[in-house]
Structure 1
């Protein structure tokens, strides 16, 4: 249809650039004055109206005096055309504008660590001038409701134990294992911290959470959860001429145990012996295939997490491989980018590869379930999360605590806690510190996940559709302080190519090895 010139002007004013990343008069009003355009004074409105001619040069954040001179020109023109009186003009000119400070750091953003993580990726593709002036919108995988749940769970858990356990920091990341979509990311207990512990630095030692890859290698080599191994004193040739004599966390030895018992109770010696038997290189190969990208050295200490460090996002992604039936899906945070007209200028897709056989993955999935379901399991604390799987991790001197786990076909998440200066905590274990944080998040997040799935099914009448969440480093007409937060609620995000993970009780290795009741312990 043909548009009236007033409609054309309205469209223009709601899309044109006003500087400081603000597109549209409403966004400009909130960016510079922190209020809706309808609440602007005559002086403020004239200042905003004068910006589109040269938005960068007149930007109040860069050159307030130039913006005021341009404002005065607008006021003079309005008086000349009789839109205002000379008295109103003179009064407006005398008004000194109070400009909202520009947000240049993540401190004022919603989901600040996720936003910074995404921005770093976008900057690899576009330069700063393009990001500032082009009006792009970045559509991401973030579920902001889950983000808020994760932030609260982490901060509640660390704050509650800060003094008694001597713990100051932590981080949390959640991924949809079937799609690789990063749903929540909290890089620090402190929202003002610009260091993202989920992704930055050299990472932290994962402790026993790394044993999952050892047992995957053992299962791949033909072993079963019911095979027996002796937990006993043992020494191995260390680096140089030194012998390495490892110990268990409780400083005890437990004699003959099954692989399942050793994994469920997180006993060190069996994991080290298994790694020695199947070859540490095979353990590393499986860990890399599952999603670990950090350097892993070919020493037996790696079997119990004695590595330089891994990032929580790697651990979540790798455990997602077991949640996904052995298929690894690379984490993804950006779905597409559009220009100011709404045209798609870039799209991003997940990549999925068969990392581990479905049979091996299914058996590891069983073991991870027993860690939670078995009352003796180190992860039993989270047993009230339906169908939860997971593994705890605690390093020497309680310097690192972990819980990494998932609910098949739904969500996988990793929680780390510790201190940035690597100082020891006080009897802080993955099962007692991180598991409750993971539990608090999952109980709420899974409800959101399930409710969204039911709603999609109801609305689509059997046809699968997708809706996406947008996040932009832009401001635009009709929005409010999301410009400060950088995140805009655009509905849920769902991918049609979900992989269904079987939760049947019969595993491949159980065909002729189902134990009689009471035999396992």
Structure 2
């Protein structure tokens, strides 16, 4: 084997004339074969045609309004006739002066560039068509300086020339070439660097932009104006060389300054930018699975968003956010660099890269702080960013899971971070309904009671959790109905201990809190595990849907540009995660939250009518305010706080969910009902049908009463002592809701009447509650709400007519973390 190899190597080193002739004849053939092999690995004619007619996906609302267009870049396509001739002249003179003579490859220029490159002076020889091929198909062709890349580029250029006219090639090139700062195409470049349209570009401006094509960063007129000026004059010289500019004009123009009018161009966010942001991720995955191009195939995506409700939600978030921002500015002294929060400001400063850089030079902590603090503009910017109030909002139809409105922050441009789906914050007392749902599933009733007493629960590791309320323990028995209506921590903690954290966590996950981790510990009852607003609204949707969970959906149908349906997403059947009977009881007591409890200002202040229920929520230190309202047709929830949970509104009044988040939902629902987008006449189906046995025994009892009743006697006044309190029927609650909506005073008197009818007679309780049969039974009226610390009572203002009941906050375990992690 070695002998043939040795002979071959000897012939290579000592070629004969015949061998040289064969080699010279075979080289072109081998090159042709190599080209033929590469053809299948270049973009097909169909792909090029698709690039020519590229159409971005259009995102439409449920009522047919345009929400967004998904473009691959910040680009606006303009026709060649709408581009200044100065641009075309500068481009052809500089980049490809024989553009109209070749068929995609300029052989003379390619040979000249090759000779210069071999001699050590590397030059580019790509035509405009080759550059277009490289810009359109960077993945298929690549940018490595190799022979393979040049051949693939040339093959693609020939294909483009076969399909496009010369004017079409120029138009496509000028609309796809990048110009830095997310500006693609000549139109966005003209706006970015000269604040004008491409049709108005002068000779100097056209030469400046054309000069950037040799190297965007190197000839950036913003950062490197001297290089950009020299390159501009080089382009002007090329225009003189090829007859596009007179020498006299050149002599005058080359002495002119750049005169850049720079402004970054941003795409308008649209009416639902955070929703569109999340939808883009989902749609990109769908397009990949189904072999569609999200940016070129002209997909028409019909979403579940109602543009009218979306506008109402945005207005509600903006209005309340602006009001709370004024309060935050006063509380922190934001206009004077957080003058009212110096200690925390120093913590913020220590976390900045500027402070770390100062420390790395060897400065002490005090000197580094002094150095960064001396920059007043920096301190002011840091303070404003930390004390900027954030809010988010989500509304969905509980019957089919369709999302109707989505607001991820107060301002998408200032804060594109989506708090609805990405921010995880402690939900506080809005988590309590899951505890009561688990209890009702296990057999408890709204009239069951627990004694309002000090609670101490042993935790793993020897810690003791002491949940508290704002008032001292009363040693009275409080019903589960009143405990939820007035958000009693001590009662809820006892109920959690009876039901068990694991069961509550499993039920909450089943009902919709499916992405965040729930720590099955006793304090979970007061919402110490961070969750997202989307999860909470989804879970409340299960409550509104009588225990049937439906996954939230964003899209109903996807079509092509001709209107043909490519995919349809029909509503799925709900999965029963909570028994309907238990859910009916839960809805019934959640009605009391808005009729006479911590969420009563929904009716008294905002006049929301009809059959609604809900829950407020406030976390430790007023870091997070929540409110979620359910209606048979719509569930809406809001969160208010700061990106950094160490920052709060510093107000026991404004920090409560009833005063921070509730107004957003109230404003939204008020607008929606006035516009008749939500029907206030629709009611929850909470009336329970009597079973066969109950119906028969009822008839038998009525018959016995008729047969054996004593003769009628004159009417007399009957005084009932210590009547046992019973849960009101659904009809009574609805009637009470209407009465509460008419005036606040009527709601107050109703609560007082309930308190005066408190029963003290002992009665048997179900084994679930674990209380002795002799436990006293009492119904409470409006009582003070939840505690704000690890067992320490906190003061609060007297409840106002707008918020009958108590502030709402969740206690936390001793030494347990209480902050959320909603920062971007």
Q: TM-score with structure 2 length normalisation?
A: 0.46
C-alpha separation in 1, matches of 2:483 and 2:678: 37
Q: Distance in 2 between matches of 1:67 and 1:172?
A: 34
1:439 corresponds, among 643, 666, 679, to: 666
- For 1:502, the equivalent position in structure 2 comes to 685
Decide whether aligned partners of structure 1 residues 507 and 162 sit closer, same or farther in structure 2, where only a CA change above 3 A counts: farther
Matched, 1:162 2:295: no
**1:138 positional shift:** 1.0
Specify whether residues 344 and 245 from structure 1 end up closer, same or farther in structure 2 by C-alpha distance, changes over 3 A only: same
CA pair 55-150 structure 1, distance change in 2 beyond 3 A: farther
Query: Which residue of structure 1 lines up, in the alignment, with residue 624 of structure 2?
Result: 400
- Where in structure 2 are there 5+ consecutive unaligned residues? 1-49, 59-68, 89-164, 179-183, 190-197, 200-243, 245-261, 332-387, 699-723, 729-752, 758-778, 781-824
Contact map agreement 2:556 2:568 (CA 8 A) in 1: yes
CA distance in 1, matches of 2:668, 2:536: 17
Shift of 1:65: 6.7
Offset, 1:121 = 0.8
Q: Cα gap change, 1:64/1:274 in structure 2, threshold over 3 Å: closer, same or farther?
A: closer
Q: Report the equivalent of 2:406.
A: 185
Counterpart pick for 2:312 among 140, 149, 162: 149
Q: Which among 289, 302, 308 is matched to residue 139 of structure 1? A: 302
Q: Which residue of 1 aligns with 2:128?
A: none
Is the contact between residue 324 and residue 500 of structure 1 (CA under 8 Å) also seen in structure 2? Answer: no
| Distance in 1, Cα, partners of 2:442 & 2:579 | 12
CA contact (8 A) 2:430 2:616 kept: yes
On the 8 A contact 1:19/1:51 being kept in 2, the answer is: no
Structure-1 residue corresponding to 2:641: 418
Q: Which position in structure 2 is the counterpart of 1:461?
A: none
- Name the residue aligned to 2:657: 430
Counterparts of 2:472 and 2:450 in 1: how far apart (Å)? 15
Alignment pair present for 1:330 and 2:551: yes
Shift of 1:448: 3.8
Closer, same or farther in 2 for the Cα pair 1:113/1:449, shift >3 Å? farther
Measure, in 2, the Cα distance between the counterparts of 1:66 and 1:277: 68
What TM-score do you get using the length of structure 1 for normalisation?
0.71
Decide which moves more: 439-448 or 345-354.
345-354
Contact 2:188 2:265 in 1 (8 A): no
CA distance in 2, matches of 1:372, 1:452: 18
User: How large is the RMSD of aligned CA atoms in angstroms?
Assistant: 4.0
Whole-angstrom CA distance in 2 between matches of 1:413 and 1:405: 5
Separation of aligned partners in 1, 2:166 and 2:637: 50
Shift of the alpha carbon at 1:129? 8.4
- d(CA) in 1 for partners of 2:563, 2:171: 21
Tell me the equivalent position of 1:243.
Answer: 464
CA–CA distance in structure 2, aligned partners of residues 66 and 51 of structure 1:
17
1:130 corresponds in structure 2 to 293
Relative distance call for 1:111 and 1:67 in structure 2 (3 A) is closer
Q: Bigger CA drift: 58-67 or 176-185?
A: 58-67
Q: Which has the larger radius of gyration?
A: 2
> Counterparts of 2:452 and 2:188 in 1: how far apart (Å)?
75
1:274 to 464, 475, 495: 495
Partner of 1:371: 593
Q: 1:50 to 1:225 in 2, by over 3 A?
A: farther
Structure 1 61/42 Cα, relative in aligned 2: closer, same or farther at 3 Å?
closer
For residue 213 of structure 1, give the secondary structure of its aligned residue in structure 2: helix
Q: 1:22 to 1:396 in 2, by over 3 A?
A: closer
- 1:195 matched to 2:422? The reply is no
Q: Give runs of aligned pairs for residues 192-271 of structure 1, distance below 5 A.
A: 192=413, 193-201=415-423, 203-248=424-469, 250-255=470-475, 256-271=477-492
Provide the residue aligned with 2:76 in structure 1: 32
Q: Which whole-Å deviations, capped at 9, do the CAs of 1:359-389 have from their partners, x for residues lacking one?
A: 1111100011010011xx0000102211221
SS at match of 1:275: helix
Matched, 1:355 2:572: no
Question: Residue 337 of structure 1: SS of its match in structure 2?
Answer: strand
8 Å Cα contact 1:327-1:353 kept in structure 2: yes
Check 1:102–1:120 CA distance in 2 against 1; reply closer, same or farther (3 A cut).
farther
Q: Given the superposition, is the C-alpha separation of residues 302 and 337 from structure 1 closer, same or farther in structure 2, using an over 3 Å criterion?
A: same
Structure 1 residue 109, shift from structure 2 partner: 2.7
**Alignment-derived partner of residue 608 in structure 2:** 385
1:514 aligns with 2:745: no
Match among 390, 393, 399 for residue 172 of structure 1: 393
Given that 2:76 and 2:175 are in contact with CA atoms closer than 8 Å, whether structure 1 keeps it comes out as no
8 Å Cα contact 1:19/1:56 also seen in 2:
no
Cα 1:506–1:440 shift into 2, 3 Å? farther
Shift of 1:447: 3.9
- What is residue 342 of structure 1 aligned with on the other side? 563
